[in-house]
Amino acid sequence: MLIYANPHHTLHDGRHEMFRGRLVPCHETPARLDHVLAELGRRPVGERREPPPVPRAALERVHAPRYLDFLQGAWDEWVALDPANAALDALPSTWPVRGFRHDVEPENFAARLGLYSYDAGTPLTAGTWAAAEAGAACAVAAAHGVAAGATRSAAALTRPPGHHAGADFFGGYCFLNNAALAAQALRDQGAQKVAVVDVDYHHGNGTQSLFYDRADVLTVSIHGDPRTEYPFYLGHADERGEGEGFGHNLNLPLPAGTVFADWRVALQQALKRVTEHRADALVVALGVDTYEGDPISRFRLASADYLTIGRDLAAMRLPTVFTMEGGYAVEAMGVNLVNVLEGFEQG
């Protein structure tokens, strides 16, 4: 397994997020990846490599150019409005909801911040672009390593995470969709069919939206029921894709309190669909916020269960790319995520 770790992830370090009606310290912190890397130091898995810079063209295979332009320049615009903003995070406060126009990009910075986002829980900071771009580089490099046959598997260990980001929107702590970038890179490197399996507690709404009308990339997500769980507005079982993509999106929502035995049944259903898709390669959007101790999620998986998940994924015998997604029980993050990678290597 090749391991690509984001060398610039600490540059994205939000101060506050809006969570359940209150401004609170961010749940998505640099310590999440720090614990993973520390655990890898204690329990080495794979070979560490540095990712090369990601070409802009690779980002544009997934994200809209005007969205990328906005993200890249947003912090400088924010500070130019008022030098005092340098001590604050940028959070949106207005959004173009149903019936509002999205095609015209406003000149007003606050309006554009809302145009390209969907929640107030994803702070944009001085280092957001650098960290997100470096994370995308990890995902694309991991995909290229697998596609070239240099390894059966590769992991992009990075934050901010990515699976909630769409073609032209951020939210859910995500700015660039690393799983989608990896899937598209695998396609561009010759894989005829790719499957993305998202095992994060929260539905991969960004990934679903990016591939919803495509038959070449199957998207499967196992997650908390969107009637009660973030991101709420996508992730229902009746969302099956559209046009050429009909039948190529599978959502497996589960109730709060789901234990591993029941969760694993859903995983087997997901992997059966991957086999039916005849995928040439697999991308795993690896969130470990399914853990029983996670502060913002409500499944009941134990640390040992992640070893089994890794072995189950390895049994697919597919070239596999992992992208690091959620997990907010920070001190347990390293053990849980490395357990998946170790289980995969044992499988």
Active-site annotation, residues: 164
8 A C-beta contact, residue 299 and residue 262: no
Number of C-beta neighbours around residue 24 at 10 A: 12
d(CA 182, CA 53): 14
Residue 195, judged by CB atoms within 10 A of its CB (0-12, 13-18, 19+), counts as buried
Measured CA distances, 275 to 99, 151, 184 (Å): 40, 21, 19
- Please provide the size of the chain in residues: 347
Cα separation, 169 vs 325, whole angstroms: 17
Alpha carbons within 13 A on the beta-carbon side of 253: 19
Assign 4 to helix, strand or coil: strand
Helix 305-314 / helix 260-277 crossing angle, nearest 10 deg: 10
Please report how many Cα atoms fall inside a 13 Å half-sphere around the Cα of residue 212, on the Cβ side.
Answer: 17
Q: For 330, phi and psi rounded to 5 degrees?
A: -60, -45
Instruction: Dig out the tokens for 87 from the structure.
Output: 């001590």
Query: CB neighbours (10 Å) of residue 37?
Result: 16
CA pair distance 244, 308, nearest whole angstrom: 34
| Cα dist from 260 to 86, 172, 331, whole Å | 44, 24, 21
Nearest to 170 by CA among 213, 131, 217: 131
